[in-house]
């Protein structure tokens, strides 16, 4: 029986040999092969991350794709952005708009999955759900044909591209530290840093799918304890941390960890210095400060959470930059519009060519002061999480007298409730059975007040549905 929960909003992800079995992975390959041929395609580039079962899953999906006559280009053990890179560039005389990255991203070691690009566009949302339903209604059994694949050196082409692109960073004036979390980021980044003669100190650079040192998720501060400790010990003022497949970045300086929306402000200001009026897309979880600050020098657009959503919107609006709180950064300015932590890390280093680390910190410290919570999750079920959001929306349209005065309700992705002195966000996660919340206001007291009132309503709804 197929576990439909693996077919998520942004990608396909499950547990190896439990709900990502040989038959299911093969079937996914067969159906993707049919879709590629329907779009006039004939080939695909496939890469994989450091998880110990990634090469096995590669063989399974390769067989499924090959059964439909799709030619397979194996790009090997690489960061996720290199799979995207192949759809925008010619590699060894090969140009293909299709790619699959086999990765569990920042999930625990037993997870794996697929980030898919078809015809140079993210394969996500409705398309993934339809593929899952098709496989549910018409199961496919694995058959082995010992199909052939062809190796192309996407990694070297990618590194050469970035070394040329960032020639201004040659002999960078500061030593930096990097925490790869035993993911695949070092495979791309280390040679680039060496060729640019950037002095660096690297933590956990060896890919290891068991992630023996810490969980490879830089959006959680507890996973940054090692890099923070080494920055202090070695008197290094700039740090970069990567997630497992190197499509999310964290920037650290001596006294600050930069959130995704803060990075967006810094990058937008740098664009303005180049006489570009920045157009920036942020997700619904980003601080109001980000939108206000960017609107002073350009234009900001609020949109749905999710790397696939942001990539599509970025291209639709031809925006310069997109940002998620979690560290997905999307550059359409000077780049191809997808989330690449290696590229974003190098763009972050460019900030320090004209400012010291202390000056960068002061730019953020001098922003208007708001008090915000980190992303908090409320347990729900796949069946009731969207129902809770709908019931909450009905309440908010006619709230009780003791509820804070509502100025507006933004329904782009869940509910972003605008109050007189702040806002609250409640949205159903597209990947797990939880509600995601975030609160922000002009002072701590108001933040707590909005949080208390809204969570009280949510708990009441949960008890009565």
Enumerate the active-site residues: 105
What the block records as the tokens of 289 is 């400060």
C-alpha to C-alpha distance for 47 and 102, rounded to whole angstroms: 6
Kindly state the greatest CA–CA separation across the chain. Answer: 69
Ramachandran assignment for 132, one of left (phi > 0), alpha (psi -120 to 50 degrees), beta (any other): alpha
C-alpha to C-alpha distance for 78 and 270, rounded to whole angstroms: 30
Secondary structure of 381-401 as H, E, C letters: CCCCHHHHHHHHHHHHHCCCC
C-alpha to C-alpha distance for 257 and 77, rounded to whole angstroms: 29
Residues with Cβ within 8 Å of residue 230, at least 6 apart in sequence: 177, 201, 203, 236
What the block records as the tokens of 79 is 């960061």
Which residues make beta-bridge pairs with 149?
Answer: 72
Residues with Cβ within 8 Å of residue 444, at least 6 apart in sequence: 371
Eight-state DSSP code of residue 442: S
Eight-state DSSP code of residue 331: E
Question: C-alpha angle 54/56/59, rounded to 5°?
Answer: 110
Ramachandran assignment for 275, one of left (phi > 0), alpha (psi -120 to 50 degrees), beta (any other): left
What the block records as the tokens of 275 is 């006489």
Q: 76: number of CA atoms within 13 Å, CB side?
A: 10
Place of tokens 């680039």: 192
Q: 246: number of CA atoms within 13 Å, CB side?
A: 33
């Amino acid at each position: 029986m197929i576990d439909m929960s693996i077919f998520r909003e942004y990608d396909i992800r499950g547990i190896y040999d439990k709900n990502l079995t040989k038959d299911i992975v093969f079937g996914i390959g067969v159906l993707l092969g049919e879709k590629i041929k329907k779009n006039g395609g004939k080939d695909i580039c496939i890469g994989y991350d450091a998880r110990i079962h990634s090469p096995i899953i590669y063989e399974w999906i390769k067989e499924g794709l090959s059964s439909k006559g799709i030619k397979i280009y194996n790009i090997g053990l690489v960061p996720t952005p290199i799979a995207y890179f192949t759809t925008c560039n010619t590699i060894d005389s090969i140009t293909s708009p299709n790619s699959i990255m086999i990765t569990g991203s920042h999930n625990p070691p037993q997870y794996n999955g697929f980030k898919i690009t078809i015809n140079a566009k993210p394969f996500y949302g409705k398309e993934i759900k339809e593929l899952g339903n098709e496989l549910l209604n018409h199961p496919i059994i694995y058959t082995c044909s010992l199909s052939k694949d062809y190796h192309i050196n996407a990694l070297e082409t990618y590194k050469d591209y970035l070394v040329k692109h960032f020639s201004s960073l040659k002999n960078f004036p500061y030593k930096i530290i990097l925490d790869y979390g035993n993911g695949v980021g070092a495979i791309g980044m280390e040679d680039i840093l060496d060729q640019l003669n950037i002095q660096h100190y690297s933590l956990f650079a060896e890919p290891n799918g068991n992630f023996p040192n810490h969980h490879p998720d830089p959006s959680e501060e507890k996973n940054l304890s090692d890099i923070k400790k080494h920055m202090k010990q070695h008197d290094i003022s700039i740090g970069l941390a990567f997630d497992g497949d190197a499509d999310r970045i964290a920037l650290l300086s001596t006294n600050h960890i930069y959130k995704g929306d803060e990075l967006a402000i810094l990058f937008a200001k740098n664009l303005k210095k180049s006489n570009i009026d920045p157009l920036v897309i942020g997700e619904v979880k980003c601080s109001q400060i980000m939108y206000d600050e960017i609107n002073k020098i350009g234009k900001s657009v609020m949109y749905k959470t999710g790397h696939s959503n942001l990539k599509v919107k970025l291209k639709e609006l031809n925006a310069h930059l997109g940002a998620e709180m979690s560290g997905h950064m999307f550059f359409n300015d000077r780049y191809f519009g997808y989330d690449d932590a290696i590229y974003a890390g190098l763009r972050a280093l460019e900030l320090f060519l004209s400012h010291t680390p202390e000056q960068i910190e002061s730019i953020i410290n001098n922003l208007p002061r708001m008090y915000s919570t980190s992303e908090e999750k409320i347990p729900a079920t796949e069946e009731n999480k969207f129902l809770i959001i709908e019931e909450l929306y009905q309440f908010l349209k006619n709230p009780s007298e003791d509820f804070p005065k509502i100025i507006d309700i933004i329904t782009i992705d869940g509910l972003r409730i605008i109050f007189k002195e702040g806002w609250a966000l409640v949205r159903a996660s597209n990947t797990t059975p939880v509600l995601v919340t975030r609160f922000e206001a002009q002072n701590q007291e108001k933040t707590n007040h909005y949080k208390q009132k809204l969570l009280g309503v949510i708990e009441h709804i949960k008890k009565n549905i």
